[in-house]
Every structure is written in C-alpha cells, then in structure tokens.
Chain A
Amino acid sequence: MSRVLMKGNEAFAEAAIRAGVKCYFGYPITPQNEIPEYMSHELPKAGGAFIQAESELAAINMAFGASASGGRVFISTSSPGLALMQEGIGFIASCEVPLVILNVSRGGPGVGGIQPGQADYLQVTRGGYNGDVKVPVFAPSSIQECANLIYECFDIADEYRNPVVILADGMLGQMMEPVELPEARGITPVEKINDERPWAITGTDNHPERNVVYSLRLDPQVLENHCFDMFEKYAKAEKELVRWTDQGLEDAEIVFVAFGTMSRLCVEAIELLEERGIKAGLIRPISLWPYPNAAFDKIGKNCKVVISTELSMGQMITDVKTAVQGRWPVSLINRTGGMVPSSIEIADRAEKALKEATK
C-alpha cells in the first residue's frame, strides 16, 4: 500500500468515502472546514450526496432522515456545532438509528476560540441530550488512526444501531502525516438497503412489514422497557468497544493518562523524564466511552501518582479517578482555551507532582 501525506480532516473525509458513505451533511465551522469542502467535490464522484445545511440543527436532522431511510451517513462539526446537534443525537439514539459524528473540537466555553481543545470531553462522553442515552466515543491520536477509526466506526454504528462519536481536535484536523488509506467498499445500492437494514423506511413495497422509525413512547412501561433494551446494548458495548494503548506501566513511577493530541506530547515528556532518571508510563484511552478501566489494572507497584493530562480544566479526571479507585493519588496537568503545553512543561509539572505525592 502506498502512503499519502494528508491532513487529518482530509483523511477522515476520504476514509469515510471509502467506508461507503452515501450522505454527508455539514455546516462550516473552524477547524473542520476541509471536511465539508472535500465532501462537496469528492462524495458526488463516488455516487454519494452532499448538502451544505442551513445550520448544524438541520445537518443532524438531515443525517437522521438519510440514515433512517437506510443510507450510510457521516457528519462533522466542531464544539459549539456539536452543542447544537445534541438534541438530534439523543433522538437518533432513541430511534436506534446509526450515525457517525466527528467533532474536531476547539477551545471553549461558548463560541470560545479555534485552537485545539479537549474541553468537549464531558460533552461527548456524557452528552447534552436528554434521557438515558449512551454514545460510544473514540479518540484517535495520529492521522493513520483517524482514517482507521472512522472506517471502523460505520460498522460499529450499524451493529449497535446507535450514533458513534469521534473526538479529534484542531491539531489533528490540521496536521499532515503519511497515511495508508483503507480500500473503498462502495455504496450500498438503494434496492439492497433492506437486506442490510431491515428496519429502514424505504417504502412498504421493499419489505414485508410496514416500517416506522420512532422515539415517542407515551406508556411509561413501554418506555422503560425500551431503555432496558438500549442498556443491554450498552452493556455489550462496555465489553466489546473498550480500546486503549499503554506503555511502560509495569515500572512507572508516574503514569500519564492522555488521549488524542495530548497523548503525543506525553510520549515526548516521558522521554524527557527518562533523561532525568524518572520512569513514566502512559495510558492512552482510545475509547472514551466505554472508558478503559481495565488499563489501570496493569499499573505496577512502583507507581506514585497517576496524572490526567488534558487540554481542559480537568474533565477526564473524573473517569480517571473512577478507574483508579483510590489505589494511587490522582493529579492533573492541564492547559485550556486553546493553549497547548510543551513537553517540557508537562515533564516539569509531572516531576513536581511526583515530589508532592512522595513527600
């Protein structure tokens, strides 16, 4: 396979097309604009459809319509745009309709800024939607992983009949790295839709029973049963969708926990600490929900402190503490608002945290 040099945003877009996306709906927002741009000229060539929606609200609902009627759908946005889409995400999950949503996040809160941020951690893992809904979330840290993950997420969304979110950040979106692109699968022809998705609304001539995609359940018992059913699915996800990588946990005194862009800074900080005679390791969650709690069981007995390392005021740290279960002190190294720490800053602050933990 030949490698091409691609921006993260372009790699997401191209890999989505190769995964057989039928529809993309987008609304311009920095730093993900390369994606609607790319989709507008490349998706029609592959036989798909592109709409520049009038708003993120419209985009998520166009996505619902296209997916409910059996199309494979991809949408992308950035932090405030995702906030606008939240109602739709909860509704789509309730209707059990698959969808892949990419959030190339930026600094917040509010309109915030456009530099890289991870302050959407809680937005994507807890959501702003109402009701008992869970959404699998994956966070890549290289352009290759961007392509691989999005390609796979369409199958996960289909299998679970649920939205799946990919959380990237402005740096991953804008950065270029060599990438090997996955093979093109082609779009499912319209007459084959119900073979793959028997529930899709395609017209009653195409399937034995009338199909209705719905969320409203006025009978509380019926609604409770629906939630129970959804949570059986989520329990399966908690077993099957947990992903992480780790390094040097056996003898690490410091264990960083970081995802996405921040994890790459941590890898360099670990090298700097090694030069100072300090052993540090890393847990890099790829699935943010379900959270890789099992990774923490690999931490060795030399560990003095676990450090949640984040581009936010400390959002993932709640999950880190839950995973740590009081076994080690948990500390936070963070910058926010679009500020990205240097690896030197991370190493310095980690050394200080280690001293405090061993005082």
Chain B
Amino acid sequence: MKTVFEPTKGMIPVDTSYCPGCGHGIAHRIIMECLEERGSLGNTIGVVPIGCAINAHHFMNVDMCESTHGRAPAIAAGIRRVHPDQVVFTYQGDGDLASIGTAEIIHAAHRGEKFTTFFINNAIYGMTGGQMAPTTLIGQKTTTSVNGRTVEQAGLPLRMCEILSQIDCAVFVERVMLNNPANVRKAKAAVKKALDIQDARLGFTFVEFLSSCPTNWGLAPKDALNYVGQNMADYYPVRNFKTPEGF
C-alpha cells in the first residue's frame, strides 16, 4: 500500500489538551512540520509560555523547557548563548508576550537575538478563563470587560508586529492567520522563512498568528474562524512587515 499521508514526527502521537477549534494545534503542527522537513527536530530547543500552550512540550517532539510568565525570550537568549548552533524558538500567547512579557520581547528584538518567536494572538487569556488581553478588540466581551472593551477603560489593542518591526535588529516580522487552509499554508511558508533567516543569524525573527479561542469567545469553532478572518484581520493587518534582502 502506498503511504499518501503521515503525521509529522515533530508531533508526539497523543491527543492535545486544546479545545475543539483552537488554533494552537494547527500552529504546533506547521512549526513541527517545518522543523521536520528541514531535518532540525534533533537539534532544536524550544521554550513554552505560561498559558494554554504551557502544555506544548507534551506535544512538540523536541527538547523544551517551561518558562515563567512572559520571560520566554530571556530564557531563549540564555539558551542561545550556550548553543550557538541549534535552532531555538519561543512559543508564546498574547497575555504572555504582549502583556507581562513586553520588556523581554522588545529587548530580545532590540538585541537582535538569533531565535524565532511564534506569537499566538487570540485576543484573550485562555488558560485563566477568558480575561481581557492587551490584544482584545474594542467591543469584545471578556470576563474582565463584560460589556465589551472600551478605549477609555483599557486603551486600544496592542499591535505587536507593528511595534517590533520598528526595531532595527528585528529582521523578519510577519503576521499570518489560521482561519482557512489557504492561510494556514501561507502561515507555514512564513514559519519556514523565519527559520531560514534564523539559520542565517541575521537578527530576531517573529511570526504572529491570528488564532481562535472558541471556548472563551463563546463562539462555535466555525464562527470563531470567521471572527479571525473578519474582526481580527480588520484590526491586525495580515502581511509581511519586514524581510531581509535575499529571502
């Protein structure tokens, strides 16, 4: 019999702990597929965040460590100093990266750290039960903004790609979204490019994934994907912000 499809060896063959319709599973898989395709699974070190994806090390088949909340970029910087030749990445959510960890991500970019950060933006705190994130959209209802987020009370949502692309030593910055197969393929292309640029040691590389959280958004998975493609993409333009020459 001819094998027409095999799951990636980059994912450990267990059920994930993520909710139906959650984007983490897709993001995990495309990152791990890229690492497998380039033969990097055995020489990759990953850092997981605080948040739902703290469990990522149960699913991603590479050496990994946990982090304190928001500090994954500092931890990855330490790993990079010991391992100049390995592939190093952090995987972080929006509460972790865009709220408690803003100093670490800004300074990792500022130093041009030679690792890649995968940023999963689902506009909400998932693991703690649906509180407002810095990335929560205006009008979006969460457990700490029950009538919808307002500018007066919480300011405007933070656009991390726009901020990080201002930093000279952040050399690759791209926002993608995980709302349909075509966009997932584009997301995978961005992951591959980020890893190639990391290999070239040109500077800090960053991919933001607009992703869904049906459970905490109170939407059915399909409606959640529509919310990503319409509401989120409206505020967070899906595009490449920066690519070094030759890539």
Q: Is there direct touching of A and B in the complex, by C-beta distance under 8 Å? A: yes
Interface, chain A (partner B; CB < 8 A): 22-23, 25, 49, 51, 53-55, 57-59, 61-71, 73, 87-88, 91, 95, 190, 193, 201-206, 210-216
User: Which of B63, B77, B104 is within 8 Å of A211, CB to CB?
Assistant: B63
The docked-state distance in angstroms from the alpha carbon of A61 to that of B73 is 9
A223 to chain B, nearest CB (A): 14
A203 and B68 contact, CB distance less than 8 A:
no
Q: Is B99 interfacial (CB-CB < 8 Å)?
A: no
Known: A54-B106, A58-B74, A201-B45. 11 other contacts (CB 8 A): A55-B103, A57-B103, A58-B77, A59-B74, A61-B71, A69-B78, A71-B78, A203-B42, A203-B83, A204-B61, A216-B66
Contact bitstring B53-95, A, C-beta under 8 A = 1, else 0: 0100100011111111001001111110111111000000000
B44 interfacial contact with A, CB 8 Å: yes
CA distance A67 to B74 in the complex (A): 12
Cβ-defined partner of B71 (8 Å) among A58, A68, A190, A203: A58
Contact partner of A65 (CB less than 8 A), chosen from B42, B75, B84, B86, is B75
Instruction: Tell me how far the C-beta of B61 lies from the nearest C-beta in chain A, rounded to whole angstroms.
Output: 7
5 pairs across A/B with beta carbons < 8 Å?
Answer: A57-B74, A71-B82, A202-B83, A203-B45, A203-B86
Contact in complex: A65, B63 (CB < 8 Å):
no
**Closest CB of chain B to A318's CB: distance in Å?**
29
Question: Closest approach, in angstroms, between the C-beta of B55 and any C-beta of chain A?
Answer: 8
| B65 adjacent to A203 (CB under 8 Å) | no
Chain A residues near B224 (CB, 8 Å)?
none
Among B63, B75, B76, which residue has its beta carbon within 8 angstroms of that of A210? B63
CA distance A64 to B41 in the complex (A): 22
A65 contacts B68, C-beta separation under 8 Å: no
Query: Measured between alpha carbons, how far is A67 from B79 in the docked complex, in Å?
Result: 8
* Complex CA distance for A70 and B76, rounded to whole angstroms: 13
The answer for the CA separation of A53 and B43 in the assembled complex, in Å, is: 26
Partner of A190, one of B54, B57, B74, B82: B82
Answer yes or no: B193 CB below 8 A from chain A CBs.
no
Residue from A65, A95, A206, A210 having most chain B Cβ neighbours under 10 A: A65
Q: Which residues 38-53 in B have Cβ within 8 Å of A in the complex?
A: 41-45, 47
Report if A69-B79 is in contact (Cβ < 8 Å); known contacts: A201-B63, A212-B65. yes
C-alpha gap A63/B77 in the complex (Å): 9
With beta carbons under 8 angstroms apart, the residue of A68, A70, A214, A216 that contacts B75 is: A68
* B107 interfacial contact with A, CB 8 Å: yes
* Cα–Cα distance between A91 and B107 once the two chains are bound (Å): 22
Given A66-B78, A71-B81, A204-B42, the answer on whether A61 and B68 have CB atoms closer than 8 Å is yes
Check A210 against B68 for contact (C-beta < 8 Å): no
A215 CA / B66 CA spacing, docked (Å)? 7
Given the complex, which residues of A lie within 8 Å of B41, measured CB to CB? 204
Q: Mark B residues whose CB is within 8 Å of A.
A: 41-45, 47, 54, 57, 61-68, 71, 74-79, 81-86, 103-104, 106-107, 111
Selected from A55, A91, A213, the residue in CB contact (under 8 A) with B68 is A91
Residue with the greatest number of chain A CB neighbours at <10 A, chosen from B41, B67, B106: B67
In whole angstroms, how far apart are the Cα atoms of A206 and B42 in the complex? 8
Let me know if A212 and B64 touch, CB within 8 A: yes
Is the beta-carbon distance between A65 and B66 smaller than 8 angstroms? no
Which residue of B67, B82, B111 is within 8 Å of A69 (Cβ)?
Answer: B82
User: Chain B nearest CB: distance from A270 CB in Å?
Assistant: 46
Residue of B41, B67, B83 contacting most chain A CB atoms (<10 Å): B83
Q: Is the CB of B64 within 8 A of A65?
A: no
Instruction: Find B45's partner among A57, A64, A202 (CB 8 Å cutoff).
Output: A202
Contacts of B67 in A (CB 8 A): 61, 64
Residues on the B chain within 8 Å of A215, using CB: 66
Q: How far is the CB of A127 from chain B (nearest CB, A)?
A: 15
Q: Do A51 and B82 contact each other (CB < 8 Å), given the known contacts A58-B71, A88-B68, A212-B63?
A: no
- Of the candidates A49, A58, A62, A204, which one forms a contact with B62 in the assembled complex, judged by CB atoms under 8 Å apart? A204
> What residues on A are CB-neighbors of B61 within 8 Å?
204, 210
What A residues does B57 contact at CB under 8 A?
212, 214
Are A214 and B77 in touch, CB under 8 angstroms?
no
Q: How far is the CA of A109 from the CA of B206 in the complex (A)?
A: 40
Interface contact B43-A95, CB-CB below 8 Å: no
- CA gap between A53 and B57 in the complex, in Å: 26
The 9 closest A-B pairs by CB, nearest first: A65-B78, A205-B42, A65-B75, A66-B78, A71-B82, A61-B71, A49-B81, A61-B74, A62-B78
A23, B103: Cα distance in complex, Å? 21
Nearest-neighbor residue (CB-CB) of B75 within chain A: A65
For residue A59, which residues in chain B have a CB less than 8 angstroms away from its CB?
Answer: 74
Q: Are B79 and A65 within 8 A (Cβ)? A: yes
**Chain B hits for A71, CB < 8 A:** 78, 81-82
Distance from A204 Cβ to chain B, minimum over Cβ atoms (Å): 5
Select from chain B the residue with minimum beta-carbon distance to A215: B66
Once the chains bind, are B78 and A205 in contact (CB under 8 Å)? no
Min CB gap B76→A, angstroms: 6
Contact across chains for B103 and A202 when beta carbons are under 8 A apart = no
A356 smallest CB distance to B (angstroms):
49
Q: Which of A58, A63, A212 contacts B107 (CB 8 A)?
A: A58
Q: What CA separation (Å) do A213 and B65 show in the bound complex?
A: 4
Given contacts A87-B68, A212-B63, A212-B65, contact A64 B78 (CB under 8 A): yes
B103 to chain A: closest CB distance in Å?
6
Contacts of B63 in A (CB 8 A): 201-204, 210-212
B65 touches A201 (CB 8 A): yes
